[in-house]
Amino acid sequence: MRIGSKKNHSDWAGKLLEWRLRSGFSQAGLGDRLGVSPMAISRWERGLFEPSAEVYIALGKIAGPPECWWFWARAGLPKSYLQTLLPGRDGHP
């Protein structure tokens, strides 16, 4: 499927596909990093199934800033909450 072909795509599926391609991962390579099959990646990118919160958290770790915030928000972790967990945000080292 071409990147520009987003017919019947949900926003999250299209963003996941675009990020994977931009990051240089094949479906098999990303699946290996996440411990899932390439078919699971394909299903997510086609919008058939959405990744679990755990997978979104792992994707955020792989992506790094600034895209990590989007993945973590999809997992239900708002940026404002996550920033309180970062060192130095609440006075703790």
**What's the CATH number where 19 sits?**
1.10.260.40
Q: How confident is the model at residue 10 (pLDDT cuts 50, 70, 90)?
A: confident
Q: Is residue 18 part of a domain?
A: yes
- Model confidence over 45-57: pLDDT tens digits? 999 999 999 999 9
The residue whose two tokens read 């390439």 is: 38
Q: Is residue 92 part of a domain?
A: no
Domain that holds residue 56: 11-85
User: Per-residue pLDDT for 1 more than 60?
Assistant: no
Q: Is residue 4 part of a domain?
A: no
Q: Where are the alpha helices (DSSP H) in 6-51?
A: 11-23, 27-34, 38-45
Q: Is residue 81 part of a domain?
A: yes
For the chain, the domain total comes to 1
Tell if the pTM clears 0.85, that is, is over it: no
